[in-house]
Amino acid sequence: MRIPPGGRRSLTTRGVRRFVQLAFFALFVVLFVGTVDGFPVLGRVPSDLFLRTSPLIALASIVASRSVVWAAVLPAGIAVMLTLLLGRVYCGWFCPFGTLIDITERTVFRGKWLARSKGACTWPEERSDRWRPVKYVVLACALGAAVFSYQPLLFLDPISMLHRSATVAVSAPAETAGKDVSALLYRPLAKRGIRISPAGERRMAHGGFVVAAMLVTVLGLSSIQRRFWCRYLCPLGALLGLFSWVPLLRRKSADSCVHCHRCEKLCKMGCIGGDGMSYRSRECIACYECEVCCPVGAVTFPIAHDIRATAGQMDRRHQLTRRRLLTGLAAGAGWYLTMKASPAGRLLATHDRWKNPYLLRPPGALPEKQFLGLCARCGECVKVCPTNTLQPAVFEAGPEGAFTPIVVPRIGECAEKCNACGLVCPTGAIQPFMADQKNPRATGNPLIVGMATIDRSLCRPWYKNEMCSVCDEQCPYDAIASPVVDGLKRPFVMESLCTGCGACERECPVVPEAAIRVSSRDEKRPVLKLGRGPRDGFTRPSPAANSEPRYLEERNTERALDLWARTTGRNNGSPPE
């Protein structure tokens, strides 16, 4: 008997899945929108919950860092156990990026979706099989690069991509538009006695067009095939497919099947064979579309008590052959070696002469090599930064540093009482720290982002003999002194108190290039983990986070900066003896 849409089976299978999808997508939106300054709105639920549930981020971070990243192991382990027992239900039920793709297909590409239900706009099985191994090659390439602590493909993780896209391509433009509208309506409404909050600083984000183009491309691929990204390109789906070897939740087609091929046409992943009986178990996401659309009710998803009973209908081939595995690993290693040999890619600690002297990392960031190996490129720290100083790198950090966070002092300063970026990092690339650990007056080993340098050829008190003390007034650490020299107050940087927060560069009135700039000279980064455990974020902050850390003092850019200073006639702003 044909079950109409909205019938009993629809409510108990597909309807439940859609409800769970929307519930978890709503949870993602609430955690993303409601998280301010690193503190989640749902009590003990961490704002980076979905990032922690990605086994790809956890595995790549463990391989790259050669250590266990406990903050991500427990949630990702639950996702892996769920996959071992029930198959790729994570992709079909819980992944917010998969839910976004389904919403796009149902709204934007609804005409093509209806055409596919009639057998149009679908690829032949042979052509589809040629594309399926691509995601396994991408996965092998990512892991091959991670062996060398190099993570160029981790930004393709769907959870990371969704967080980054929401931060850079959605949140920043939306906040800017809202503030523009507020500024436009402020005076007209004030005349009518209606008071609204005045617009503040506009929210900016580097690389917004690039990130938006990536998101639109991935969503637009669904116009070619349903869930094109999930079928052929997603490295997380490939990893979960390797784990879903013998799931207990299996598709079973009874002998009453009339071979109408309707289930084959409506399958989201195209994993049902031409006979309607067999299916690829590693590709099935348990969407229940085939069960609902079956006109005779021949398709069910029982919990297999006898593995052999349904083994005949399962195709457990994962399409990751030895050749494809070696190709992916070699591609990842080759990409790493190519970037290491490129001047644009020589940003590691051993290549101080090529390092960008103005590449500033967030406070609490690990040494550069470890940081690049652990950073998930998710943009979570960029989202919670209250001053907007954290920006995703595009070209500033070289190819291997794309989408990693950098400090841009000209946009905003690193706030004195803020430690939000360390609280939301899912992999520990930015270690959690206390706000007082940035203050040289409060601790003997402060976190040093960089060092401010005065360019006397641009500074007004030095080259124009004009009075200006903006940098001295704005410095929250009192690291700038303005003694009287030749009858005029002139600024000097007291390097023992400077943390590189960038407040001076942010407020410097000299344009377009500030007369005082922060470089990464004398930066100090933590070398020990500060209490990140598997339960951190779900419970109260760990007491170990309050302990005094050890730091690695880096002078990677001092040689290049001194050479640059000598050739351009600039100085380090130190006061005379």
Taking residues 227-240, report their average pLDDT. 92
Domain interval for residue 300: 8-33+46-119+132-149+229-315
Residue where one domain finishes, among candidates 315, 348, 366: 315
Give me the pLDDT at residue 424, please.
86
414 shares its domain with 555: yes
Question: What domain count does the chain have?
Answer: 2
358 found inside a domain:
no
DSSP class per residue in 410-468: TT----TT--HHHHH-SSSSB----GGGG-TTT-SS--B--EEEE-TTT-HHHHT----
Percent residues over pLDDT 70 in the chain: 78
Q: How far from chain centre, in Å, is Cα 217?
A: 18
Give me the pLDDT at residue 543, please.
35
414 shares its domain with 524: yes
Give me the pLDDT at residue 197, please.
64
- What's the pTM value of the predicted model, to 2 decimals? 0.81
Residue where one domain finishes, among candidates 272, 298, 315: 315
418 shares its domain with 538: yes
576 found inside a domain:
no
Beta-strand pair 451-454/390-392: unpaired
Give me the pLDDT at residue 525, please.
85
Rg (CA), the chain: 27
Percent residues over pLDDT 90 in the chain: 22
417 shares its domain with 305: no
310 shares its domain with 447: no
Q: How many residues does the chain have?
A: 577
490 found inside a domain:
yes
Give me the pLDDT at residue 299, please.
84
What's the pLDDT tens digit per position in 391-444? 998 888 877 788 899 999 999 899 988 888 888 888 888 988 888 889 888 887
175 found inside a domain:
no
DSSP class per residue in 4-72: PTTSHHHHHTHHHHHHHHHHHHHHHHHHHHH-BTTB-SSTTS-TTHHHHT-HHHHHHHHHHHTS--HHH
Residue where one domain finishes, among candidates 315, 348, 375: 315
Taking residues 125-142, report their average pLDDT. 85
Q: Is the pLDDT of residue 337 over 80?
A: no
416 shares its domain with 556: yes
Which of 130 and 575 is assigned the larger pLDDT? 130
Taking residues 353-359, report their average pLDDT. 77
Peptide bond before 302: cis, by omega within 30 degrees of 0?
no
Taking residues 320-327, report their average pLDDT. 80
Give me the pLDDT at residue 315, please.
60
113 shares its domain with 258: yes
Whole-angstrom distance, CA of residue 168 vs CA of residue 174: 10
Give me the pLDDT at residue 91, please.
92
Which of 108 and 304 is assigned the larger pLDDT? 108
27 found inside a domain:
yes
Give me the pLDDT at residue 6, please.
40
List the one residue out of 233, 231, 235, 239 whose CA is nearest residue 271. 231
Whole-angstrom distance, CA of residue 426 vs CA of residue 383: 13
Residue 539 Cα distances to 47, 529, 533, 534, 536, angstroms: 13, 18, 10, 10, 6
91 shares its domain with 233: yes
299 shares its domain with 420: no
pLDDT band (50, 70, 90) for residue 305? low
444 shares its domain with 297: no
Q: Is the pLDDT of residue 118 over 60?
A: no
399 found inside a domain:
no
382 found inside a domain:
no
Highest mean pLDDT among 147-156, 181-190, 218-227: 218-227
The whole-chain average pLDDT of the chain stands at 78
What's the pLDDT tens digit per position in 245-298? 778 888 888 888 888 888 888 888 888 877 777 788 888 898 888 888 888 888
List the one residue out of 561, 410, 429 whose CA is nearest residue 495. 561
Q: Is the pLDDT of residue 180 over 90?
A: no
138 shares its domain with 252: yes
Taking residues 461-471, report their average pLDDT. 90
pLDDT band (50, 70, 90) for residue 571? very low
What's the pLDDT tens digit per position in 45-67? 777 889 889 999 888 888 877 77
426 shares its domain with 309: no
99 found inside a domain:
yes
Give me the pLDDT at residue 550, please.
45
Highest mean pLDDT among 159-163, 325-329, 445-449: 159-163
